[in-house]
A and B are shown apart, each in its own frame.
Chain A
């Protein structure tokens, strides 16, 4: 089945196949990003702006700020989890405290 992904409640969380899976207010470590001047951005997720699927990855562009330097804005595409088997639709979230590499993805289209 097609993986159904969207953000809801003013970008408060990401729904994957009808289930709330990723929430705002977590801190993400972002590397190799021009989001800010920090070597490793300590990024607070304040709102999910866009979500998309780049199989098997579920990706999002997130509004927030680096709490180390204060820079705020919207990240590039970031993998927030995976749906490995579209038939089961089961979602596996990434560990947000790990190091992540935002980039240009979401090939299969982005949605609100």
Chain B
């Protein structure tokens, strides 16, 4: 029997939801019938709006999809202005202030504390510069990801940006693909470093050569969520760039028709891949969803992949200054945990305009890149005060930190994440020294098994948990080691479970020191982990308290907002009206 969500989607979904959304916004929060909240909030996701967690009713997270992370000249200023004007809630974040933008691991933008009543104005501003929230969440084609410097990279086999654009234009707002069984994540890689992260997407196009032409091999069924991590599997198909959209049509139509609509936990195409295997997947695609003969896979270039490969080579995370093919440079800036204050965002937009073309790009490591900077401008740009906080040459612990949204706003998360990871990164920078040959050291903190921070592909993977300390429940983290991508991607081994959050920095310090002590000459951390069994690795992780202080050990989910002075759930001002004034409670 189709799930309840499928029933709601049958009644209204996709493009038509916009009209209802704008009507509700016009009339105010109370206009949404109380017994229809769940159905409408599910539908609003298609328009990039996610109702925030318990205690924050009437406020939404808004996601803006920027394909391939490309923010065109003039767009960033509008994003910053919207954050400043509309993304301010009833309480302040002690690390990031009142208004900020989150750059996500899927090259999108998230704003919080958005009020329903403000949505029409925000949509108008976004659309005035060609931005949209359409399909940023919900069961459809999500934001397409890829190498963030596609088309402006000296290290690419093929410019994948036009392909990403074509897919974006073809599948955004396309009613035929508006209602899929579940989310549909697509990655396109054209570079030689493999930074499109295709292995963890539902559908991946990766550079491959056939008949002397560079096109794409196709992989299907990757994903990290729910302790069911899968790498995308090779379905033995090669397409030239000009037919990528045809195969994308076919694969997403196959998912639409065969994906499980009865059980949302079993709906992602990775589960269909489990059931069918790549041979049947290819056969069904050929027989039912494309009208031309599929070619077998070409020669891939995966042996050149350096991105997150553990090898500490190449320019793979795009932080730093690198030359473009046109002689200009791109300047990749580290944004710790991907969160940037609204004022800083506006400043970044000005700098991008003053020193570059105005174009900025987002990476899948939650960082930003200023594009098209002439060589003569590099000195002045790197002297700007903003680059002291968002450095092109950060410490490895700052550079490698990724964190999801966490209990600050998310219903699913078990623990606080972003502010904690900021504190971790600072403490590790001050107290731990990596070997000199390890500039890249990835620590990803995800608040739960949904894995939005992609913990399984980090050197040190942290996942939200609980434990008891002195009998009291405290926030804790599972620790995994040795994950990464590259030619032979590998998920982390979970070696130490339920470590109290305040003992995690000490555990990482001890782990790094043990690594330095025991490694063979030149051995990478990833190879070091791969060469040892889980028991041995667990012994090398020695959790301990240090002078690191964690202010979020209590159950942050029980608060209405973890950083509010009075954080008790009963003290929440939500729901509020369009002016942020508390509305009468139903209770």
A68 to B: closest C-beta gap in Å: 8
Bitwise, A54-77 to B at CB < 8 A (1) or not (0) is: 000000000000010010000000
Chain B residue with the shortest CB-CB distance to A68:
B468
Which A residues are in CB contact (< 8 Å) with B265?
10-11, 49
Contacts of A10 in B (CB 8 A): 225-226, 264-265, 412, 450
Contacts of B90 in A (CB 8 A): none
Interface pair A67/B468, CB less than 8 Å apart: yes
Q: Are B466 and A44 in contact, CB atoms less than 8 angstroms apart?
A: yes
- Return chain B residues, CB-CB under 8 Å to A13: 54, 411
A112 adjacent to B555 (CB under 8 Å): no
Q: Mark A35-48, 1 if CB is under 8 A from B, else 0.
A: 00000001010110
Contact among A9, A23, A26, A46 for B449, CB-based, below 8 A? A46
B38 touches A8 (CB 8 A): yes
Residue of B nearest to A9 (CB): B411
Which chain A residues border B411 with CB–CB below 8 Å?
A: 9, 12-13, 23-24
Answer yes or no: A32 CB below 8 A from chain B CBs.
no
A46 to B466, CA, bound (A): 10
Find out whether the CB atom of B414 lies under 8 angstroms from the CB atom of A25.
yes
- Do A44 and B414 form a contact, CB below 8 Å, given A25-B557, A27-B473, A112-B3? yes
Identify which of A15, A42, A44, A47 contacts B412 (C-beta below 8 A): A47
On whether the beta carbons of A67 and B54 are closer than 8 Å, the reply is no
Instruction: Kindly supply a per-residue 1/0 record for chain A positions 11-23, scoring 1 wherever the CB is within 8 Å of any chain B CB and 0 otherwise.
Output: 1110101111001
Contacts of B465 in A (CB 8 A): 44, 67
Contacts of B3 in A (CB 8 A): 112
**Contact residue range for chain A?**
20 to 34
* CB contact between A18 and one of B38, B450, B467 (< 8 Å): that residue: B38
The verdict on B180 contacting chain A, using a C-beta distance below 8 Å, is: no
Known contacts A12-B411, A19-B586, A24-B414; decide if A46 and B448 are in contact (CB<8 Å).
Answer: yes
Please determine whether A17 and B35 come into contact, CB atoms closer than 8 angstroms: yes
Q: Are A18 and B54 in contact (CB under 8 A)?
A: no
Q: Would A18 and B37 count as touching, CB distance under 8 A? A: yes
Q: Is the CB of B4 within 8 A of A112?
A: yes
Q: How far is the CA of A42 from the CA of B466 in the complex (A)?
A: 10
* B467-510 Cβ-contact flags toward A at 8 Å (1 or 0): 11000010010000000000000000000011000000000000
For A27, the chain B residues whose CB sits under 8 A away are 466, 473
Interface residues of B in 14-61 (CB under 8 A from A): 34-38, 42, 53-54, 57
Task: Find chain A residues with CB under 8 A from B38 CB.
Answer: 6, 8, 15, 18
Per-residue contact bits, chain B 158-197, to A (CB 8 Å; 1 contact, 0 not): 0000000000000000000000000000000000000000
- Contact yes or no, A46 B4, CB < 8 A: no
Tier of interface size on chain B: 35 or more
**B557 touching A6 by the CB < 8 A rule?**
no
A25 touches B555 (CB 8 A): yes
A-contact bits for B381-409, CB 8 A (1 contact / 0 none) = 00000000000000000000000000100
How far, in whole Å, are A6 and B36 apart by their CA atoms in the complex? Answer: 13
| 8 Å CB contact of A9 from B35, B412, B473 | B412
Pairwise interchain contact A18-B36, C-beta atoms closer than 8 A: yes
Contacts of B413 in A (CB 8 A): 25
Beta-carbon contact of B586 and A67 below 8 Å: no
The one of B407, B498, B557 in contact with A67, judged by C-beta atoms closer than 8 angstroms, is B498
Which A residues are CB-close (under 8 A) to B54?
13, 20, 23
CB-defined contacts of A111 to chain B, threshold 8 Å? 4
Interface string of A82-111 (1 = CB under 8 A from B): 000000000000000000000000000001
Q: Are B449 and A8 in contact (CB under 8 A)?
A: no
CA distance in complex: A112, B467 (Å) = 29
> Chain A residues near B36 (CB, 8 Å)?
18
B265 CB to nearest A CB, Å? 7
How distant is the Cα of A13 from the Cα of B555 in the complex, in angstroms?
A: 16
B130 CB, min distance to chain A CBs, angstroms? 30
Residues from chain A with a CB closer than 8 A to the CB of B557 are 23-26
Instruction: Give complex CA distance A6, B39 in Å.
Output: 11
A19 vs B407: C-alpha distance in the bound complex, in angstroms?
A: 19
- Which residues of chain A come closer than 8 Å to B498, judged between CB atoms? 67, 70
In the complex formed, the residue of A with least CB distance to B415 is: A25
Q: How far is the CA of A10 from the CA of B449 in the complex (A)?
A: 10
Does any Cβ of A come within 8 Å of B432's Cβ?
Answer: no
Taken together as a complex, chains A and B put the C-alpha atoms of A111 and B450 apart, in Å, by 22
**Chain B nearest CB: distance from A75 CB in Å?**
15
> In the bound complex, how far is the Cα of B226 from the Cα of A26, in angstroms?
18
A110 to B226, CA, bound (A): 21
Residues on A with C-beta less than 8 A from B272 are none
Which residue of the partner chain A has the closest CB to B473? A27
| Nearest residue, chain A, Cβ from B42 | A8
> Whole-angstrom distance between the alpha carbons of A111 and B4 in the complex?
8
**What residues of A have a CB within 8 angstroms of the CB of B4 in the complex?**
6, 111-112
A73–chain B nearest beta-carbon distance, Å: 11
B37 to chain A: which residues have CB within 8 Å? Answer: 18-19
- Taken together as a complex, chains A and B put the C-alpha atoms of A99 and B148 apart, in Å, by 52
Chain B's nearest CB lies how many Å from the CB of A26?
A: 8
Does B263 have its Cβ within 8 Å of any Cβ on chain A?
A: yes
Complex Cα distance, B228 from A47, in Å, reads 14
Please name the residue on chain A nearest to B407 by beta carbon: A25
Listed in ascending order, the chain B residues whose CB lies under 8 Å from chain A are 3-5, 34-38, 42, 53-54, 57, 225-226, 263-265, 407, 410-415, 448-450, 465-468, 473, 476, 497-498, 555, 557, 586
Query: 9 nearest interchain CB pairs?
Result: A12-B411, A12-B412, A25-B557, A18-B35, A112-B3, A25-B414, A44-B466, A9-B411, A6-B4
What would be 5 A-B contacts, judged by CB atoms less than 8 Å apart? A8-B5, A12-B410, A12-B412, A26-B557, A44-B465
Known A46-B414, A70-B498, A112-B4; further 19 A-B contacts with Cβ < 8 A: A8-B42, A9-B412, A10-B225, A10-B226, A10-B412, A12-B53, A13-B54, A18-B36, A19-B34, A19-B586, A24-B411, A26-B557, A27-B466, A27-B473, A44-B414, A46-B448, A46-B449, A47-B226, A112-B5
